[in-house]
Chain A
């Protein structure tokens, strides 16, 4: 209960004093924090090296293992441009295993980065590359081709030359591209990300309903073909398709790298981002375009590969202990590629003829790992 003037003079004294104290403390902590940051960087560097080494090992394994046993020496010779002991091995490695491994790496990186972008954009740890319904569009395209071919409507379309010899992939690409265009058109007009998220969900439900209607009216063999597509596979991309698949993904990766700064600002929410000079609408459009391009391309060529896109960003965050996208994007690139290669390897059940469904393997092996990591970290963060 001092008088105001007493309090004021008291305040002033303590102000000066604490000012001096503050300066002294900040000098101490400046050196301290630099050391700690350096230590953090050192452990970070090990992590990067480990990731890169693991990825390289997984790549060699992926190319080296399969239903035909090829000695590691011959695998390496072939990869470096030499001639293996048998000519058939060269074909197996270069025409089958190599494109598959490359596809897995590109797809894994793409999905992980796309998932990271969506989680940050929607400020939601449960967001994945497909929140906006990209995979629903692709699956509708595939469903139309697989399920409707032979029914009267499709016969009519085929008669018009629209379906002709349209392949599964082309249908999926078209479906994904159309839903991407729709998402972008909606995103330009919708103000809040939450609204956009709900619209994306509704779009997914509506398209899913169309697909199940198609399934209801089609014959079992065709449904089986559609289900097979839904399992996901990295084996479908041939060297003929690679010139389309790879550049699309590289463009998407470039787009996501260009949005690294607004992504970091968006961690504080749209109001803060705007106050720091982010053109939120433009940034959002760029992020969605990049993320959807990545997810759409992968879905079109590999099927709806689930789990990886939601899990890998969380794993990277808790390994690096940061939300900084300048670190997370490269980390997701490596870890996503590694995860996809690993899942593909596991799905092949080495030295057997059986290939398990990719999505099942991905989630079955991955879910416990992710749960364990998040358990240790005690909570999900963005």
Chain B
């Protein structure tokens, strides 16, 4: 398949500071790609350069074969649209009117919508599940609804590529998953390429067709999320002192070497969540004998044994409080 957007030996940054050098990657039609990397590694700068918002320092950014920077603005707008991370105070307009602004490169000098434009706008609203609040003012919408409307606006531009800079940054967890699902369906069904930067590693691992992973050294690793987990690139990009990547759960957590071992006896769901609670409080559930022992009792309580002393607790909260007190 031919790439819709590609970076060829692209260097990005500012006059006095090169942020990333020699980036080569390609975005294919119909795929959802998440750009991830530690804070400050240059995700936004790379996105801005790919979008033509700032010139590359070296190399080329190609949009359907043409250099983004040299494309006429209107022609570029027909190929690529954006969802920016800053919250825009867009004045008094309905969600429909905001999405209709996406028709900008397609309409005449006055911006009047044709029947076709109207149909495209309605389709875009429906595609993100925003038809319900199409006639509401955007400043009355929740953050999640608002983000859907901005995605619909990008979609109404009918581009080949949609770039989104941290589209889930302002949202709560269920809303993040919802937006990601919308984008995924959108990419797969419309055949448009969707590239988004995100801090939400867990969601990126679960949703992206491919990851673009910016490592600490400024190299870009490209691959299916699972490939990057297995080859260790993901762990290397994010692991710092005291934090480790658990390849089994695909999540980061506090490094186990720093945790105090506690013997945990029990099984089933309650034991599982007890282990999680222990980890959060700075302990590690262990099968080996330890000075501290916790039994998950059948009566719904927990027993903490320390040497000769033993006490029962009816909630995990009380158990953890007691554990903290027993620390030296």
Contacts and interface: CB of A to CB of B under 8 A. Distances in A.
Given A261-B110, A274-B53, A324-B93, A25 B88 contact: no
B103 to A, nearest CB: 9
Interface string A288-332: 000000000000000000000000000001000111101000000
Interface residues of A, number: 43
A356 B104 CA distance: 47
Interface in A33-84: 33, 36-37
A224 to B, nearest CB: 43
Interface in B203-238: 206
A1 B250 CA distance: 12
Contacts of B86: 269, 271
A381 interface: yes
B161 to A, nearest CB: 12
A278 B185 CA distance: 29
Contacts of A212: none
B73 interface: yes
Interface string B111-148: 11000000000100110010110110101000000000
B51 A323 contact: no
A260 B90 contact: no
Interface string B78-120: 1011101010111111001110011011010111100000000
Contacts of B181: 11, 15
Contact of A381 (B74, B84, B92, B134): B92
Given A272-B88, A278-B104, A264 B139 contact: no
A277 B77 contact: yes
B135 A267 contact: no
A323 B272 CA distance: 55
Contacts of A275: 51, 53, 77, 80-82
Interface stretch (A16-24, A96-104, A135-143, A342-350): A16-24
B293 interface: no
Contact of B157 (A123, A274, A276): A276
A381 B77 contact: no
A265 B101 contact: yes
A276 B93 contact: no
B76 interface: yes
Contacts of B97: 322, 324
A258 B109 CA distance: 8
Given A7-B206, A317-B92, A29 B134 contact: yes
Contacts of A321: 92, 137
A322 B89 CA distance: 14
B131 A25 contact: yes
B104 A26 contact: no
B72 to A, nearest CB: 8
Contacts of B81: 275-276
A261 B92 contact: no
A162 to B, nearest CB: 43
A213 interface: no
Interface string A110-126: 00000000000001000
A276 B80 CA distance: 9
A279 interface: yes
A8 B73 contact: no
Most buried by A among B97, B109, B131: B131
A328 to B, nearest CB: 10
A139 B102 CA distance: 43
Given A22-B129, A22-B131, A382 B89 contact: yes
Nearest to B93: A323
A88 interface: no
Interface string B191-211: 000000000000000100000
Contacts of A23: 126
A25 B122 contact: no
Nearest to B74: A277
A26 B128 CA distance: 11
A26 B73 contact: no
Nearest to A260: B110
B125 A323 contact: no
A382 B122 CA distance: 25
A273 to B, nearest CB: 8
Interface in B250-275: 250, 272
A29 B82 contact: no
A26 B125 contact: yes
Contact of A30 (B93, B131, B139): B131
Given A272-B82, A382-B91, A4 B157 contact: no
Given A7-B206, A277-B104, A19 B90 contact: no
A8 B101 contact: no
Contacts of A268: 88, 90, 98, 101
A382 B93 CA distance: 10
8 contacts: A4-B250, A11-B181, A22-B131, A29-B132, A33-B131, A268-B90, A276-B105, A322-B92
Nearest first, the 3 A-B pairs at minimum CB distance are A323-B91, A277-B77, A26-B131
Given A4-B250, A267-B93, 15 more contacts: A8-B206, A15-B181, A25-B132, A265-B104, A271-B53, A271-B86, A272-B82, A276-B101, A276-B157, A317-B92, A323-B91, A323-B93, A326-B110, A381-B89, A381-B139
